[in-house]
Amino acid sequence: MIEVRDLEVRYGARTVARVPELDVAAGECVAIVGESGSGKSTTLMSLLGLTENADVSGSIKVCGLDVRTASPRELRAIRGARAALVMQSPQAALSPTTRLGTLMRRALKLHGVTADPVAAVKAVMLDPAILRRYPHEISGGQAQRFAIALAIALGAGVVLADEPTSALDVTVQAEVITVLRRLQRERDLAILLVSHDLALVSTIADRVLVMKDGEVVESGPAARVLADPSHPYTRDLLEATP
Ligand SMILES: Nc1ncnc2c1ncn2[C@@H]1O[C@H](COP(=O)(O)OP(=O)(O)OP(=O)(O)O)[C@@H](O)[C@H]1O
């Protein structure tokens, strides 16, 4: 579902992310971890062609689409409908004066998809009453689950999640992760997760890429990387994990 080779993202003369290889298959969860500013979000955004003003090289394929050569129309068609982005503060991306149910129905119509919004919110363990609420009336965790519900309704096969639980308390984090894990199993979702939370990553990721200063310093099966890290930086990250 995601196939990246020799990706390099530069802002001006500065290379902020260099990823030689990144693959995420259906039903698989891959996590990119690393401290703030290591290039995780830049990598994620480049997969949907969302790094404005950046100079991007290499090969990026998402759901069979060559993102680097795709037209703006092809990119719009894939964003949301096939590859959904769950951001740190999803409320900011939602129109504040539109009820969530209307937002979802509009998105479905835009992409020509027939789906039941009630079933979609139930699939992420939200009360269907949420469809009558406005974005400012829901919590961060609910907004993230709504973003996932929207992806499910649209039939997305790929979820790109940027620190999906960073601003949330531990109980809410567990809820969002439980939802993602279940959907990964039941719907064969490919999930790419960006996080600095290694404890979270250990509960969901099959494979991990560790980034430092824009470079991948270590990658491999999550169980191996987290239990027996080979790079000193990964060991530091693990030691910093409570
Ligand atoms: N639009 C931009 N223009 C110039 N530099 C940018 C731009 N966006 C990001 N950067 C730089 O790229 C580097 C990587 O940023 P990025 O957001 O990918 O890191 P991150 O690992 O996701 O950090 P965080 O965990 O804090 O979100 C940073 O040094 C950042 O300042």
Query: pLDDT tens for residues 153-184?
Result: 988 899 998 876 555 566 667 777 888 888 88
Q: How many CB atoms lie within 10 A of CB 112?
A: 8
> The domain 2-240: what is its CATH number?
3.40.50.300
Atom of ligand 1 nearest to the CA of 34: 21
Query: 58: helix, coil or strand?
Result: strand
Edge-to-edge strand order for the sheet containing 65-66? 65-66, 55-62, 2-11, 14-24, 215-221, 207-212, 29-33, 190-195, 158-162, 83-86
Question: What's the rounded Cα separation, in Å, for the pair 198 and 208?
Answer: 10
Q: How far is the CA of 119 from the centre of ligand 1 (A)?
A: 36
pTM (two decimals): 0.89
Is 49 in contact with 67 (CB distance < 8 Å)? yes
Q: How far is the CA of 179 from the centre of ligand 1 (A)?
A: 28
Query: pLDDT tens for residues 183-200?
Result: 888 889 999 999 877 777
Q: How far is the CA of 172 from the centre of ligand 1 (A)?
A: 26
Using the predicted structure, report yes or no on whether residue 3 has a pLDDT greater than 80: yes
> Ligand 1 atom 20: the closest Cα is on which residue?
37
> Ligand 1 atom 14: the closest Cα is on which residue?
39
Atom of ligand 1 nearest to the CA of 88: 27
The binding-site residues of ligand 1, defined as CB within 6 angstroms of any ligand atom, are 11, 16, 34, 36-42, 53, 196
| DSSP symbol at 19 | E
Band of the pLDDT at 46, cuts 50, 70, 90? very high
Question: What's the rounded Cα separation, in Å, for the pair 85 and 44?
Answer: 9
> Ligand 1 atom 9: the closest Cα is on which residue?
42
